[in-house]
Amino acid sequence: MATAADHFTVDGYAFLRLFDKKKLESRAADKFQFRPNDVVVASFPKSGTTWLIEILKAMYGDWGLLKVGHSESAIFLEEQTLYSSYLGKIRQHVVETINIDDLPSPRLIYTHLPATIFPCQALKDKGVKLIYICRNPKDVVVSQYYFWKAFIKGAYSTGSWEQTLQSFQESRLQLTPWVRHVGDWYQKGIKDNVLHVTYEEMKEDLPRVVDKIAEFLQRPVTKEDIERVVTTTAVDAMRNKLSNLAFVDEGMVSEGENPFVRKGTVGDWKNHFTVAQSERFDAIIGEKVKSVNRNIPYQ
């Protein structure tokens, strides 16, 4: 079960012991050398990060990692700057062999860091663009439950559904409190370098979101590009594509499971929350959401 022992807190956020506390406290990610044409995807884990990355990959095939023949398209900021150990040999190999400073531009970077720890000033100074993806927290917590059941077998467990839900509400899961994570990123606004998208709007009308992203990045896409994005990032297409999970060590994921592409639907929470659980969640999280931003998806 997720306990306080699995985490430490920095700036009020829970971090798994995979992170180096000193590096977090000294804001080591600030040393990351951004370039003006870098693009960053930011999210609370299980909000549709992988999907958004695949969308950007299908929109533009020229990301630095792809150009050097790497199967991944995005650099994970925390792994590069804040970890004390790696999620296995493959991840260690990735960090040790990819020289991010030598990668051709444009680079696609992703992060789950809270806005108060992410190097926001560097983002502004260099004019880097960031897309923050947000999702109904009830679906996020369901997705988290299945993720930790399937991923890093045995190393970290969030327990039963009820226990996972409770840990989320009590900010004992990685990167919680969720409301603050989302709220801090929404405070960054959309005027400057940050575009906010939601998982729900992507499910509802992906072409419209792709257009919005293209406009934000000032890199136009054609009708054919949009059609390709829709086809190649459909849930089943992505599940097949990412089925072998070549980026984690063998045995880390339960047989037949894909922790990054599971059901891929809106409202799966209704199959998991009891009425009492939903009411409690509304009282603890829902009430706060309203005061943070009206655009945050919540049901």
Tell me the C-alpha distance between 123 and 192, whole Å: 10
Closest-CA residue to 81 (of 127, 122, 47, 52): 122
Q: Which residues pair with 192 in a beta bridge?
A: none
Q: What is the dihedral sign for C-alpha 14, 20, 26, 31?
A: negative
Q: CB 238 → ligand A3P: shortest distance, Å?
A: 4
Q: At closest approach, how far in Å is the CB of 22 from ligand A3P? A: 27
In angstroms, give the least distance from the CB of 268 to ligand A3P. 5
Q: Closest separation between CB of residue 52 and ligand A3P, Å?
A: 8
Burial of 64 (0-12, 13-18, 19+ CB in 10 A): buried
Q: Which residues bind ligand A3P (CB under 6 A)?
A: 43, 45-51, 139, 143, 146, 233, 235, 238, 260-264, 268
The set of residues, in sequence order, having a beta carbon less than 8 Å from that of 94 and lying 6+ positions away, is 72, 79, 247
Out of 7, 112, 196, 272, pick the active-site residue: 112
Name which of 80 and 143 has its Cβ closer to ligand A3P.
143
Place of tokens 């990032």: 233
Total residues found in the chain within this entry: 299
- Is residue 112 annotated as part of the catalytic site, yes or no? yes
End-to-end CA distance of the chain: 27
Q: Which residues are catalytic?
A: 112
